[in-house]
Amino acid sequence: MEEKLRLLDPFTEEYKVSADLGTEQMYQKIDKEIDSPTLFDRWKTQQPQCRFGQEGICCHICGMGPCRINPKKSERGICGATAETIVSRNLLRHVTAGAAAYIHHAKRAATTLKETSEGKTGFSIKDEKKLKEMLRCLGLQESSSPMEMAKSLADFFFEEINKPVEEPSAFVTAFAPRKRLQVWEELNIIPGGAHSEVLESITRTMSHINTDPMELLLNATRLSISSAYTGLLAAVMFQDILLGTPKVTSVQTNLGVIDPAAVNILVHGHQPLLVWKILEHSQDEDLLCRAADAGAKDIKVYGSTDVGQELIGRGNGSARLAGQIGSWMKQEFAIATGAVDMMVVDFNCTIPGLKAMAERFHTKLLSVEPVVRLEGVDTLAFDPSKADEQARAIVEMAIEAFTNRKPDRINIPEHTSKPIVGFTTEAVLDVLGGSLSPLIDAIVAGKILGIAAVVGCTNPHRGRHEMSPLVLAEELVARDILVVSSGCCASDIQHSDIMTPEGYHYCGDGLKEVCYSLGIPPVLSFGSCTEIHRIVEVVTALSHTLNVDTSQLPVAVSAPEWMDEKSLADGLFSVALGLFTHVSPALPVTGSKFLSRFLSHRESKRRHMRNESTIVDILGGEFAIETDPVRAASLIEYHIAKKREKFL
Ligand code: SF4
Ligand code: SF4
């Protein structure tokens, strides 16, 4: 049953956790029939959450601690650290972890590219044009051999990430918006080698080393730039080269896509390489015969979270993803359908509570990434040179798990939707006829007021799942603001018809006309959270085409339910790019008067009245904290209107 995501009154009793009927139905089933708390139940038991943690004023990095800053009782930690030091040091620690995870992801893709170039893997070069473009931008030699070029690119990446901090990263200087580079150069925040930057950052945050809040903040900003180019950009580009650049397509989404008659494999995480091979081998004739012998009519692979977003625009040969289940917060509910035989987890966003749910069903959990370890769960660490045999082994395990299924425990909600997905910079240019001019003309004519990116994770912090990204997207398009989305926000919005061509009925008149004439939805799905890079690419292209700095564009960013440390790195990078950046929940900086005033939109207005400088003065971007998505849309609209005054 395809239907529009039903928006619910967050204060009704009827719906307990989610605006999505499928999730809500599964939650109520688990509540009544299965003795297994979910993420939503655990969220409730944590309320009220600790104010010291929320505000970032708890420090436990040395044995004298933990210390908490309480203005009425203790304004400093035992060592004398102020709230400003503790908050900024904690922020840098968070950003370091997030940046390291992105860079780790890029390294995994680079290793696969290198081993492929040496003929050691079953992968090949699927996007030679992009490979050549990368070489050209980085000043490397092209050759007639794709494998030689791939080797040269992978080798260059490893040399780059090992450079000292003093030598600017070529991945930043080659791909960042030109006018932005000047801003970053003046602030000395163009990063060097990513490994060195991570090492330098974590060293500075050890106890009693660096206590200057401004310096720690600039360090975090510099690292966020390193993460954006050596992490996100490199991962996206290498994956495009190996798997092909995604294409615009449509896909069935939500829990209702699960087929009770098939062997079902759910892939969950962020890294699409091994799971792409699983998709391919799920259609091997001999494995399909074995599945049939076990009583299944097919073998199906479904996406969950970002790795699903990575696969839906790609496919592998004739093998296609059977559907995208949804955001990371659906993982326990997918298992509770009783029809997921195997769940393959490849990187972050696998919750520790997942195993408890899997134990109540027959689902086999498997980690496929060396750094991902779940207590009591098997690991088959991805080895690019063995990817084909590993993928086949995983499909065999899924067939085996299927034989343990208990048909009387299967309960799959009916709800599905069919959004348009797979937008990239290339796809946007394609839709626009090869140049950004039609988009710019529509902005100048006021048909589109501006562009807002609604990106990143989802978070139960408002007590209802799937509300904020969708309400925000609906509010923005109604105000003629084109929305681009990625990450779990995109997974949530995909459950609505706002991501179909019919979605233009949500729009204001101007945006409606543009969407109707181009045949596009008003919310463009740009894939995974790593693929936020593709949105940065579009913003960079706009800045170059118009020869203006990114901070001058009528563009804004929202992370309406940010959750992990990667999001903090992304958020800071967005501000470093000069963009107005809405976040909810509040960043863990509000315990520092200096940081909250310096970073925050509302406070910065007051500081300007006192002639004090804020982050807008040095970077052009700022954070706006607002938990209500309707009010957040108004803030974004106001910001875009201001930018238009200068832009036009
Ligand atoms: S570094 Fe200072 S503030 Fe932090 S735990 Fe140690 S004594 Fe307390
Ligand atoms: S967007 Fe956030 S929550 Fe979703 S999969 Fe990516 S990191 Fe995890």
Closest CA to 576 of 638, 623, 639: 623
pLDDT (0 to 100) of residue 490? 96
Q: Residue 6 has what pLDDT? A: 44
Helix (H, G, I), strand (E, B) or coil at 540: helix
Task: Identify the pLDDT of residue 8.
Answer: 45
Rounded Cα distance, 37 and 518, in Å: 46
Give me the residues paired with residue 524 across strands: 484
Residue 602 has pLDDT above 60, yes or no: yes
**Average of pLDDT values for 523-535?**
96
How many whole angstroms separate alpha carbon 301 and alpha carbon 324? 9
Ligand nearest to the CA of 351: 2
Pairwise CA distance, residues 418 & 258, whole Å: 14
pLDDT at residue 487, as a whole number: 96
- Residue 195's domain spans which residues? 73-243
Structure tokens at 451: 């562009």
Of 588, 420, 416, 604, which Cα lies nearest the Cα of 502? 420
How far, in Å, is the centroid of ligand 2 from the Cα of 93?
19
Q: Are residues 192 and 264 in the same domain?
A: no
8 Å CB contact between 390 and 379: no
5 has pLDDT over 80: no
pLDDT of residue 22: 85
Pocket of ligand 2 contains residue 551 by CB under 6 Å: no
Query: What are the backbone angles phi and psi of residue 34, rounded to the nearest 5°?
Result: -120, 130
Reported as a single tens digit per residue, the pLDDT across 432-455 is 999 999 999 999 999 999 999 999
239-252 confidence digits (pLDDT tens): 999 999 999 999 99
pLDDT for the residue numbered 7: 45
Residue 603 has pLDDT above 80, yes or no: no
Render pLDDT for 259-299 as a digit per residue (tens, 0 to 9). Answer: 999 999 999 999 999 999 999 999 999 999 999 999 999 99
- Cβ of residue 457 lying under 6 Å from some atom of ligand 2: yes
Nearest CA, atom 8, ligand 2: 349
Q: pLDDT value at position 3?
A: 44
The residue among 189, 211, 243 that closes a domain is 243
- State whether 576 and 597 are in the same domain: yes
**Which pLDDT score is estimated for 35?**
77
Output the residue whose Cα is nearest ligand 1's atom 4: 59
Give 541-554 pLDDT, tens digit per residue. Answer: 999 999 999 999 99
Identify the DSSP state of 10: T
Of the candidates 329, 246, 316, which has an alpha carbon nearest to the alpha carbon of residue 275? 316
Q: In 3D, which of 229, 233, 217 has the Cα closest to residue 587?
A: 217
Would you say residue 451 lies in a domain?
yes
In a domain, 377, yes or no: yes
Q: pLDDT tens-digit profile of 409-435?
A: 999 998 899 999 999 999 999 999 999
CB 564 within 8 A of CB 342: no
CA 456 – ligand 2 centroid, Å: 6
Domain termination residue (choose one: 365, 387, 409):
409
Same domain, 397 and 444: no
Considering the chain, what percentage of its residues have pLDDT values greater than 90?
85
Tokens of 189: 């925040």
The residue assigned the tokens 């962020």 is 270
Question: Sign of dihedral through CA atoms 82, 83, 85, 90?
Answer: positive
Does 491 reside within a domain? Answer: yes
| Residue 497 within a domain | yes
Asked if the model's pLDDT at residue 192 lies above 50, the reply is yes
Of 401-410, 420-429, 600-609, the least confident: 600-609
Beta strands in 414-488 (DSSP E): 420-421, 450-455, 481-486
pLDDT 10s digits, 348-381: 999 999 999 999 999 999 999 989 999 999 999 9
Q: Mean pLDDT throughout 143-155?
A: 97
What mean pLDDT is reported for the chain? Answer: 93
Pocket test for ligand 2, best of 564, 565, 567, 583 (most atoms within 8 A of CB): 564
Pocket flag, ligand 2, residue 456 (CB < 6 Å): yes
Q: Is residue 393, in this structure, part of any structural domain at all?
A: yes
Rounded to 10°, the helix 234-243/146-161 angle is 160
Can you spell out the DSSP letters for 25-54? HHHHHHHHH-----HHHHHHHTPSPPHHHH
Q: What value of ipTM does the predicted structure carry?
A: 0.89
Q: In this structure, are strands 364-367 and 378-379 parallel, antiparallel, or unpaired?
A: parallel
Instruction: Identify the residues whose C-beta falls under 6 Å from ligand 1.
Output: 59-62, 64-67, 77-79, 81, 86, 207
- Please give the sequence-ordered ranges of beta strands (E in DSSP) within 492-641, or none if there are none: 523-525, 555-559, 580-583, 622-625
The confidence score (pLDDT) of residue 207 equals 96
Are 515 and 444 within one domain?
yes
What pLDDT was estimated at residue 28? 85
CATH number at residue 113: 1.20.1270.30
Could you tell me if 239 and 277 lie in one domain? no
User: How many Å apart are CA 447 and CA 510, to the nearest integer?
Assistant: 4
For tokens 């052009």, name the residue: 620
Which among 640, 647, 503 has a CA at the least distance from the CA of 582?
640
d(CA 450, CA 639): 10
User: Is residue 46 situated within a structural domain?
Assistant: no
Residue 296 DSSP label:
-
How many domains, the chain? 3
pLDDT in tens, 206-255: 999 999 999 999 999 999 999 999 999 999 999 999 999 999 999 999 99
Residue after which a domain boundary falls, among 220, 243, 266: 243
What's the pLDDT tens digit per position in 545-595? 999 999 999 999 999 999 999 999 999 999 999 999 999 999 999 999 999
Mark whether 256 and 239 lie in a shared domain: no
pLDDT, tens digit (0-9, with 9 covering 90-100), for 65-124: 999 999 889 999 999 999 999 999 999 999 999 999 999 999 999 999 999 999 999 999
Helix (H, G, I), strand (E, B) or coil at 68: strand
Q: 190 and 280, same structural domain?
A: no
**What's the 224 CA to ligand 2 centre distance in angstroms?**
17
CB 529 near ligand 2, within 6 Å: yes
Q: Are residues 528 and 638 in the same domain?
A: yes
Closest Cα to atom 7, ligand 2: which residue?
Answer: 457
Closest-lying ligand 1 atom to the alpha carbon of residue 78: 7
Residue 488 lies in a domain: yes
487: CATH: 3.40.50.2030
Query: What distance in Å separates the CA atoms of residue 486 and residue 566, rounded to the nearest whole number?
Result: 14
> Hey, whose CA ends up nearest to atom 2 of ligand 1?
79
E strands, 329-456, where? Answer: 342-345, 364-367, 378-379, 420-421, 450-455
pLDDT computed for residue 14 by the predictor: 56
* Closest ligand relative to 65 C-alpha: 1
Q: What is the pLDDT of residues 478-517, one digit of tens each?
A: 999 999 999 999 999 999 899 998 898 999 999 999 999 9
10 within some domain: no
Do 187 and 319 fall within a single domain? no
Q: Which helix (H) or strand (E) holds 512?
A: helix 509-518
Residues 366 and 305 in one domain: yes
State mean pLDDT over 530-537.
97
Q: Nearest bound ligand to CA 559?
A: 2
Cα–ligand 2 centroid distance for 237 (angstroms): 19
Query: What sign for the dihedral angle of Cα 240, 243, 246, 252?
Result: negative
Closest residue CA from atom 3 of ligand 2: 457
pLDDT at 302 over 50: yes
The reported pLDDT for the residue numbered 253 is: 95
Is pLDDT larger for residue 154 or for residue 319? 154
Q: Are residues 483 and 437 part of one domain? A: yes
How high is the pLDDT of residue 607? 64
Q: Report how far ligand 2's centroid is from the alpha carbon of 309 (Å).
A: 11
* Same domain as 578, residue 434: yes
